[in-house]
Each structure stands twice: as C-alpha cells, then as structure tokens.
Chains A and B, each alone.
Chain A
Amino acid sequence: MSKSTFYFVVFSSLFFAVAAWFSINHHSDHESQQIKIVQIRNLQNETHDLVRNTLLAETGSIKHFDYLASSEQNIHAMIIQDEITGRDYDEFLLAISQIMETSSQIRSISAVYHNSLLFFPKGLSFFRHDWAASAPSQFLIELDVLERNVMQFNSVASNKQSLENISSQIESLRLNTSTLPEKMAEEVSRLMQHAQTLVNSSYQLRLLHSQLLSNQLSISAQHLIDFYNTSIQHTIQQENKLVERFYLIFLIIIMLAVRFWWKHQQKMVAELHIQSEQLKFMAHYDELTQLPNRTLFADRFKQAVAHSKRTDTMIAICFLDLDNFKQVNDNYGHDVGDELLNEVANRIKMILREEDTISRQGGDEFAILLRDIESYQQCEITLARINQSIAEPYLIDDALHHISASIGYTLYPLDDADLDTLLRHADQGMYQAKLAGRNQQILYNATSDKLAIDNQVRHQEIKQALSHQELHLYYQPKVNMKTGEVFGVEALIRWIHPVKGVIPPLDFLPLIEGTELEIQIGDWVINEALSQMDRWQQQDIKLKVSINISSHHLQSPIFFNQLNEALERHPEVKSQCLQLEILESTALGDLEAISGIIKSCQNILGVDFALDDFGTGYSSLTHMKNLSANTIKIDQTFVRDLLDDPDDYSIIEGIIGLAKAFHRDVIAEGVETNGHGIMLLIMGCDEAQGYGISRPLSADAIPSWLANYTPNKFWMDYASRHLSEQEQKLTLLKLTTEHWFNNFRNDILSMEERGSDRHFLKCHLGEWLPRLEQEKTFDKSWLDEVKLAHGKLFTLANNLVSKQEAGDVNAVRHGLTELNTRYDEVLFILEEYTHDSGSQKA
C-alpha cells in the first residue's frame, strides 16, 4: 500500500466518521422536535377533554367529577414526563393552568349552585305551607316576587347590574324580618341566604363558563407548533447546506471509492428536500386564525374525493358565514373582531375530526370540508353542533358577545361538480339559511335556488314599498267588555299597493323574516305608531297602542337603543302607553336573550309586553314561565270556534287559568259575536278585540269612531248582573246549545256540497252534562231531565245526518220540524231552572 493511499484511506475514513456523526446528530435533532409537536398535540387534546367534561359536569350530564380529576392528573403527568418546561412554553402552560383553575372553580361553585337551586324553591314552599296564615300578606307577595326574580335570574343572561338589583331586593327582605316572629325570621333569613347564594353562584358560573370557552389553548399550542415547524425547517436547511459542502470536498477527494455512500446521501437529500418543500407549503396558513388557506383546502378536497371514491362515502362542502359579525367589528373594533374570529375558529376545530378541514375564506367566512359522511342526518348533526357552539356567548375583554352562524352545504358526489361550483352552491345554501332566519344550516338544493331568486325580487318590491310610503298602520280598538271602556288599539300593518290594492301582512311579512329589511320595517312601525300617539294626544285621545315586533327584530343588538331613541323623540308619549306584542307561534329563538331584552325594556324603558297568538306555539308553558310578558293574547282561532268546539273552550279556559296563575293580564282576539263576548266574560276574560267590536281602522277614522262608540249593552248588562255560578253555567249552556242548533240546521241542508262531515254534530251540552253531574252544581233530577231531552235531540240529529247521507231529503225536511220541537224542549227545561232558582231567591 502506497503512502498516498494510506493517507487517503485515513483521511477519508476520518471524514466519513465526522460526516456520519454530524448527520446522525442533526437528524435526531429535528426528530426530537417532531416528537415535541406530537407531545404538545397530546397535551392539548387531554386539556380539551378537561374543558369538554367540565362543561358536561356543569350541566349535570356527568354525575361525578372523577373524569375531571383524572384528566388533571394526566395533564400534570404529561407535563412532567415530557419535560414541557421553560420560557417557550409559558403561554401554553399558562393556558393549561388557567383551564385547570377554571375547571376547579366551576366544580366548587356548581356544587353550591345546584344545592341552593334544590333548596330554595323547596324551602319557600315549606315556608308558605307553615306560615301562610300568620305572615303579613305584603311580605308573602314580596317573597313571590323575589322567587320569580331569582328563578328568572338563573334562566336569563344577567349582568352585574341585575345581580346588584336582586341582591338589594334580597337584603331588604332580610331586613324586613325584624318585625316577624323569631322562628319565622330565622326561616326567612335562611331562605334569603340561599337566594343570595343562588344568584351569586349563577352569576359566577356564567362568567367562569365564558372564561373556560375563551381559553387560549389552541392558539398557544399552535404558536408552539409553528415555532417548532420553523425550527425544523431551519435545521433541515442547515443540514442541507452542510451536507452539500461535505459533498463537494468529498467528491474532489474520492470520486469513485465512495459511490455507494454518495448514492445513499443523494437519496437522503432528496427526502429532506421534499420535507422542507412540504413545510414551506404548510406555512401557507391563514395568518389570523392559523387555518389552512384556499390552496390547501383545494388540495384536501382532491384527497377527499379520492377517499370518497375508495370508501363509497360522501363529502360535505360547507360554507359558513357569521351573523351580526359586522356589528361586533363596528362597535368594538377590529381587535375584538379578530379575537372573536379566532375563537370561532377554535370552537369549530374542537368539533371537527382530524380528517375534516376548515379554512378561512376571508372576512367572516369559513369553508368546511367534512369527510366520511354517510347520511344527510350525520352532516346535519355535526353542523348543528357547530352552530350551537358558535352561538354560545364569548367573553372578550370582560364583555360578553353573542353571534351566530348561517351555514349552507352541499354533498358530493350527489352534487357532482368541481370545487368552485360546490363552494358556490354551499354559498347559496348559506344565503338561504340567512333568509330563513339565520343560526341554522341548510342543504343546497337546485330548485330552492330558483325560489331564492324569486324571493329576492319580492324582497326588493317590499323594500320599495317602505321607501315609497306604501305601508300604513291600521288600528283595531280593544275594549273592556265589563266597563265598556275603549282602552287601547292594536296597530296592524297594511301594504297599499298602487296596482294590487291592499296586501295583508301575512302575504309579505313572512318573505322578509329574519332579514335586515324586517328590522327596518319594524323600526318604521315603532316610529309611525309613536308619532300617531303624539297626534292623538293633541286631540286628547289617550289610547294604549300595541305593535307587533318580530323575534328577529327584538333580538337584534340595536333593538333596545332604537326603541329608546324612538321614545326620546316623542317625550309627550308615556312609554307605559306602548305595548310590544311578540308572536308566540314563531320559533322564538334564544329564550334567554329574548327574556333579557324584554326585561330591560320593561324595567328601563317602562314599555309593556304581550304574547300574541298565545297557545299556537310549541312550548306555550315555557314561554309563559320564562318571558315576563304583561299580557297574554288568546289566539283568534280558539275564540272563533269557541261556541262550536268544546276543545277550544277547554283551551281558552286553560289559558285564562294559566294567565291568572302567573299574574298576567289576558285579552281575547277575534271576538266576532255577542255570544263570544258572553262566553269569555263567563270564563273570566274581560278584555276583547275583534270584528264584533270594530275592524281595524285607519288612524284618521279613529276619532270619529270613538265619538260614535256605544258600549255593547248586552255584555255590560251581563257583566253587571253578578250571576251565581249556576246562572253562569245555564247561560253558557243556552248560548252554546242555541248556537249549535242554528249551525246544525244550516249545515245539514248544505251537507251535500260539503260532504259527510259529522264534526258539526259535536255539541257543548253533551260535553257539559257529565261534567255538571260530577260538579253537583245542579239537582240530579233536573240534570236527568236535561239529559233525557238532550239525548232525544241528539239521537234525532244523528238520524237526520244518516238520512241526509242516504239522500232522503224529504225525510230530513220533515224531521227538522220535529228537531225544532225537541230543541224547544231542551230550551224549556233550561229556562225552567232559571225561573225556579229565580223564585227560590225571591
């Protein structure tokens, strides 16, 4: 071996060793950074679990806190085991420790909250049971008021001000106890303590809840991961450079001897190169939310399509736009807006699975790609969860924000198109979700697409109607049937179209439900009504005016200020004279929020509220309980058939009972006949509105109508008579039987045209007899007599219907004479009792 060969071998092996050491060392360096990323992700996931389970525990869905405790132990162990320490992790660890701290506080406070929630109402009812007889009645009333306030405080988003209000109320009741007997006072102070604990803890829980939701976990974790990604990239670049330099020297010294080694390295460089390219690519994220951008979204879509074909599943392409985001940005500034966007992104990420993708499309728009979708329902559930989570309140800089989202989506391959088209379809679906009232998700469908365009045309027309002053308010008087007094009017909107004539509200208001235009029109109505009240006042006409407010308008963040400003523009008008009617039948949306608005309008502005069309909604009882409306309006559909349909009678009876139990006023709509009025008076509803009193009138027609108005004598007479319960029932029986008889006579002859419908055979008297028998208000022998006569009348009526069905018209005509006799018999027996009881009285 020559000397030069020897040096060559020594030198090259030395070089070899250094290069190998260097390469291994650096390789492990960036590998360890990748491990760190995984560790951070794991820690983030475990902490997410803690957040999720804390929320579940707070609502009582989990019966114990063991899962939370073990989550905390795991998090702690992971931090120690993975050595997550040092300044780089400060932000991340702070977020984690804040979550643990908040979770721990939520546990303590929710325990206290649930206990007082359990005890307070129970304790109150015991108190009433024990002391109702001896406690001062004023004090008991105050307790009732407090109970209602406390329970409402829990169900409604409350602020510090309302907490202070209710606390001072509690304090004043507590101070009142000095006048009470010692034992009672002790009981009261215990109750007051629970009331205070309840509102305090409820308020604290709300704050903690928001605090937990607005955690910085994902953001800080992303910062860390970005940091590691950049540093990995950096390491790889360094490595690339160095390795390449080694190569140059290496190649000069030994060209052929190390061909194998060279090839190996070449391969490695190629790998590293690809990796660094990938990392560069991945750096193309949205700067604000750290979400993938459009390019990456398109790439993920391609992968998803391949996956979808392979697994025979669908992909959902969703387009999400935030509702009311602009208002947050305008009112609180862009910093808050940005933070809100970040938080929205976090909440969505929390619900999505690993394989799903969310991307920010700009502004407040997000695109979401859901893979492995097997059914429409599955997609609906996920999107509904996203909507729900976005609609939870946000705590930013000590202020709570409420927003919601509208989502449109389409399903690939049912909707087989390229990504741009799919996104456009989803966007159109989103537009429909906005039109349908926001805070929902709607599947794109091609036919409704056309419908949407039609709607848009109509929408424009309505907008013009507003600006061209084609909208007018008509006013329908409301009277107290007992006193005859006209105490108010309801303002009703009419569109007087230059070509089509009068268009009733139901033909155009539904088209603009949930839109900005609806709010504009609502605002116009408020101002128009107030101006009219001003004008009337100058003519010395004092009427309480009620106007209809849509729930969308009521919930818009500007509503309160709008109303306040409108009232300020009309200082002459007393706010107590304004009543706002909310439609009970429409989906009211966020009950808590609505209840909050209602209360602030009532307490701060002094405006009244009424629940309109009551009884037609899906959760009337909940509305009655949660919304502090002053008045309940019985829907006209119930009143209209009151004399025909015993079921409607029962419903109205139920509504009146409920209204009394909740201390609400009650008024009936759709009173068309004297009979309606009498029936309502018997049931205890004195206030009424309807064609039987007056149709809606233009504002100008009101003064002359008032001047010519004479109270309905029939009603006033009846109300002034102070009838006994028996007499009331008799009137009721006579009225309904008479009504039934007249209807029956008319209907049976027109039955041929109407087809066989035995519904009109239904009769109040038949329903009432068993009830009266149980109540024992009447003599049994007399009742038996009525029963017998009614039975005959009814059998005959049944016979006549059968004959009519058989086409035997002559027999029917003949039978009607007999029916008349039978009817007179029944009436006679009813009359007879009146005379008897009258003579007994005498």
Chain B
Amino acid sequence: MIKIATLLGLAFLVNSPIYAADVLDEPIRPITIPDITDPQMVDLGHKLFHEMRLSLNGTISCASCHSLSTAGMDGLVESIGVNGQLGGINTPTVFNSRLNFRQMWDGRAFNLMEQVEKPILNPKEMGSNWAHILNFLQNDPPYLKLFSRTFSDGLTQNNVKKALVAFEETLLTPNSRFDRYLMGEADAITVDELMGYSLFKEYGCISCHQGMAVGGNLFQKLGLMKDYFSDRGNITTADLGRFNVTQKEKDRHVFKVPSLRNIELTAPYFHDGSINTLDSAVRVMMVYQLGIKPIETDIQLIVKFLRTLTGEYQGVPLNNE
C-alpha cells in the first residue's frame, strides 16, 4: 500500500556513506603539518623569537610571554611587559596560532604577518620601535650574515617579520590522542572521553569549537544567553572586544572563538583570564553561551574529552612542567 507509506511519511533516512576511510568524518579535523619550505628562515625566526634585545630595554622577548616549554603562553591573568607593565588581556598561546582565521582576541590582525609586530611595538609589551630593532640588527654581524644568507634583499623590516612568521607557522601540535582517534586509532581515547566528545556535540559546544583548531574560525559574542559582563562587573576596554576594532554596536563583547587545542595546559581561561580551572570554564560556557543548566557529571566528561586535545611539539607531548 503505497498510500499508507506516503501517508505516514515513512521516508527512511539513509545514512550517507563515508568516503575518506582513513579520517573520521567529524566536525573536528586532525592537525596536519605542511612541509617546511625554507628551514633557514625558520631558524632565523627561532633566534629572533627568543631575542630579548628586540625589546626597548632588552629584557623581554616573544618567548617571555609565549614560552614554548609552557604550552606557548605564560599562565598569568595578564602578561608582564617592559618595566613591569600589565598587558590588559590574557595572553593566548602561540601554538597553532597559524590555524586562526584572524589573530588576537578581537581579531584586529588579519594574519600572523600583521600580528607579529603588534606586541613588539606595543608600549605595554615589548615597547620597541623599528628604528631600534633595525639599528640593533644592523650592528650585529651574525644576524646580518643570517639575513643576507636567507633573503636576497638582506635585512629589512619586512624580512624580520617574515622570519618570525615562518617560525611561528611551524608551531603546530599534532598527534594528540583525539587526533589519533580521528585518524582511525579507535582505542586512542577512553569510553569516558568519547562520551565527553558526544556531549560536547550534543550540548552544541561544537557549533563554535570545530575545525582543525577546534575553534579559531569565527567570531562570537561572550554572554549570548546571559550577560557575562554585568555578572562579572568592572568592565575594561579589552572587554569591549571586536567593538574596539569596528566601532559597531553588534560587535560589542564579540571575540574570536579561541582554539581548544592543548586547552588543559593554557589556564587561566577567557580573554580576562578570570577562570582557573577547566571545569569552571565549561560551566561558565554552559550558562552564558548555551543557556542550559550545567550538569556536573556531564561537565566532568567534557573536561575528560578536552584533555585528549593536548598534542605534541617536535615529537614530545606538550606539558607545563
């Protein structure tokens, strides 16, 4: 009886076939590492990244706040710049930063090339200027030699940036347990962690935190379902987020959704560094972003899942010790 079948709308959903047999078809994608095209430039960037003399008083390098041995950031609420000044916002990790669709919390830099000089020139951070930097490098024969060997036009402002960016682009953390799971290693994560992941999807965390970086590819307002800022109080300029860039009302309190890669190691959390533990961070997200009543057991499972996102740098699992 076709009539009955159509009447009751018995349209069975047919599972769509999975084409790529090796990688699971999930909203999160494993990190892949592109080949390094110019190792010399990367080495030069590495040297510059750790170079304190780039700062005005020679006390601070990029690595001071983005230490590679502590998950690419400093674990402070706000970083400390030249002359002990506070940076005004929580320092994001430098790891996987190339995966972000914009740089900085408010996305004011379109890419790393635009971002890289901002902390160097910021008076609260490294407090430097290009005249100082070029002058210092000009008078340092080893650097001069490296620049002329790497670039046909030798030492220029643009080449300094290029070298730093080339190095930062190598700072990826592949091979996390979750990535291994995605690539077909079914027992790379435990049953609890897998349940955490399915809750992560069910609650809707995945709507923003997806893709290779598990975030980092869209803007979102903080406090979608409940006013985060009036509850926290004491609103600063940094809290205005993307509004500071566009001056548009709809961008007030809008931030780049951060990547959740290596998240267990990058406390404190959020742009204001106000939360110290992962489970409180998940709880805050549930209340303010998803508008649901947090359930403790579910939070614990989600946290377990989040811990599987910690990857490796140069073959060694990231850690904070």
Per-residue interface assignment for chain A, residues 179 to 210, with 1 indicating a CB less than 8 Å from any chain B CB and 0 otherwise:
00000000000100110010000000000000
Contact, CB under 8 Å: B211 / A621 = no
Which residues of chain A from 616 to 654 have a CB within 8 Å of any chain B CB? 616-622, 638, 647, 650-651, 654
Given the interface pairs A115-B207, A119-B291, the reply to whether A69 lies near B6 with Cβ below 8 Å is: no
A73 partner residues in chain B, CB cutoff 8 A: 101, 110-111
B310 beta carbon closer than 8 Å to chain A: no
Contact, CB under 8 Å: B7 / A63 = no
B192 beta carbon closer than 8 Å to chain A: no
Range of interface residues on B (Cβ < 8 Å): 35 or more
Contact among A76, A193, A618 for B225, CB-based, below 8 A? A193
| Complex: A77 Cα to B112 Cα, angstroms | 12
Contact, CB under 8 Å: A615 / B3 = yes
**Of all chain A residues, which has the CB nearest B293?**
A190
Contact, CB under 8 Å: A63 / B221 = no
Per-residue interface assignment for chain B, residues 16 to 50, with 1 indicating a CB less than 8 Å from any chain A CB and 0 otherwise:
00000000011111000000000000000000000
| Complex: A691 Cα to B211 Cα, angstroms | 64
Contact among A105, A115, A190, A650 for B204, CB-based, below 8 A? A115
Question: What distance in Å separates the Cβ of B260 from its nearest Cβ neighbour in chain A?
Answer: 13
Which residues of chain A from 92 to 134 have a CB within 8 Å of any chain B CB? 104-105, 107-108, 110-112, 114-116, 118-119, 123
B204 partner residues in chain A, CB cutoff 8 A: 111, 114-115, 118-119
**Of all chain A residues, which has the CB nearest B1?**
A647
Question: What distance in Å separates the Cβ of A191 from its nearest Cβ neighbour in chain B?
Answer: 9
Contact, CB under 8 Å: A63 / B217 = no
Contact among B9, B202, B211 for A64, CB-based, below 8 A? B211
A116 partner residues in chain B, CB cutoff 8 A: 291
Contact, CB under 8 Å: B29 / A66 = yes
Q: Which secondary structure characterizes the binding site on chain B? A: loop
B8 beta carbon closer than 8 Å to chain A: yes
Which residues of chain B from 211 to 233 have a CB within 8 Å of any chain A CB? 211-212, 216-221, 224-225
Max chain A CB contacts within 10 Å: which of B26, B101, B202? B101
Number of interface residues of A (CB under 8 A): 41
Given the interface pairs A111-B208, A620-B7, A622-B9, the reply to whether A104 lies near B291 with Cβ below 8 Å is: no
Contact, CB under 8 Å: A76 / B9 = no
Per-residue interface assignment for chain A, residues 588 to 612, with 1 indicating a CB less than 8 Å from any chain B CB and 0 otherwise:
0000000000000000000000000
| Complex: A107 Cα to B220 Cα, angstroms | 9
Given the interface pairs A112-B224, A197-B225, A651-B4, the reply to whether A66 lies near B9 with Cβ below 8 Å is: no
Max chain A CB contacts within 10 Å: which of B111, B218, B292? B218
A655 beta carbon closer than 8 Å to chain B: yes
B208 partner residues in chain A, CB cutoff 8 A: 111
Contact among B7, B25, B290 for A654, CB-based, below 8 A? B7
| Complex: A453 Cα to B250 Cα, angstroms | 59
B150 beta carbon closer than 8 Å to chain A: no
Max chain B CB contacts within 10 Å: which of A66, A118, A621? A66
Contact among A69, A118, A622, A654 for B101, CB-based, below 8 A? A69
Contact, CB under 8 Å: A76 / B111 = yes
A620 partner residues in chain B, CB cutoff 8 A: 6-7, 9
B254 partner residues in chain A, CB cutoff 8 A: 108
Contact, CB under 8 Å: A615 / B210 = no
Question: What distance in Å separates the Cβ of A382 from its nearest Cβ neighbour in chain B?
Answer: 23
Question: What distance in Å separates the Cβ of A621 from its nearest Cβ neighbour in chain B?
Answer: 3
Question: What distance in Å separates the Cβ of B222 from its nearest Cβ neighbour in chain A?
Answer: 12
Binding site for B on A (CB under 8 A): 63-66, 68-69, 72-73, 76-77, 104-105, 107-108, 110-112, 114-116, 118-119, 123, 190, 193-194, 197, 615-622, 638, 647, 650-651, 654-655
6 A-B pairs with CB atoms under 8 Å apart are: A68-B101, A69-B100, A73-B110, A73-B111, A104-B218, A115-B290
